[in-house]
Amino acid sequence: MSRIGRVERATKETSVLVEVDLDGTGRVEVSTGVGFFDHMLNQLGKHGLFDLTVKTEGDLHIDSHHTMEDTALALGGAFREALGDKSGITRFGSASCPLDEALAQVTVDLSGRPYLVHSEPSGMAPLIGPSYDTTMTRHILESFVAQAAICLHVHVPYGRNAHHIVEAQFKALARALRAACEPDPRASGVPSTKGVL
């Protein structure tokens, strides 16, 4: 059974297409017009071994906010669709990823209930490249969590370089999601005493 999700989202601000295959090989085709965000989505696909297609056209003449927000919403929806009824999945996953001086710790529960806990070092540079607002990382994750309906904890206890701090989060998220989405060979049915996630 294929585990593929596809979401198309169009507003007056953006046009977004996202497709994800949870059982892929890390093949990524991404274009949002925001270079560093593209780089982060590449990390998500590559390290999660998700085949990921993202095509976004947004109102970048204003700023990158709507483009990244709407892409994250569509990405979360595509993940939720790809997971189906979640029968036989591991459900929980965690990963720690260092990037030079920065460390990111991520834990995920594919619970069906959206909840985000996020912390990162204060005093980060406001921009990475010309258009990635570093205050958007939390909002990107909030948007993804809201549509994926997952519980996500992201903690960066230390780090100095903004690029490293954000990239470590996406790499750790990819690895945690990969672990949580993996089939559990010993499990049958939905991994919940409720019988549904």
Q: What is the pTM of this model?
A: 0.96
The backbone torsions φ and ψ at residue 63, rounded to the nearest 5 degrees and listed phi first, read -170, -170
Q: Give the pLDDT score at 122.
A: 95
Spatial separation of the C-alpha atoms in residues 11 and 78, rounded to whole Å: 17
To which H or E segment does residue 10 belong?
strand 4-10
Is residue 55 a contact partner of residue 41, using CB atoms and an 8 Å limit? Answer: no
Q: Give the pLDDT score at 192.
A: 80
DSSP state of 164: H
Q: Give the pLDDT score at 50.
A: 98
- pLDDT band for position 190 (cuts 50, 70, 90): confident
pLDDT at residue 191 greater than cutoff 80: no
Spatial separation of the C-alpha atoms in residues 73 and 10, rounded to whole Å: 12
Spatial separation of the C-alpha atoms in residues 60 and 108, rounded to whole Å: 31
Spatial separation of the C-alpha atoms in residues 160 and 137, rounded to whole Å: 16
Average pLDDT, the chain: 96
What value does the mean pLDDT take over residues 167-176?
98
Is residue 115 a contact partner of residue 149, using CB atoms and an 8 Å limit? Answer: no
What value does the mean pLDDT take over residues 113-141?
97
> Angle between the 35-48 and 65-83 helix axes, to the nearest 10 degrees?
20
Q: What percent of the chain has pLDDT over 90?
A: 93
pLDDT at residue 1 greater than cutoff 80: no
Q: Could you read off the pLDDT of 48-106 as tens digits, one per residue? A: 999 999 999 999 999 999 999 999 999 999 999 999 999 999 999 999 999 999 999 99
To which H or E segment does residue 44 belong?
helix 35-48
- pLDDT band for position 189 (cuts 50, 70, 90): confident
pLDDT at residue 194 greater than cutoff 90: no
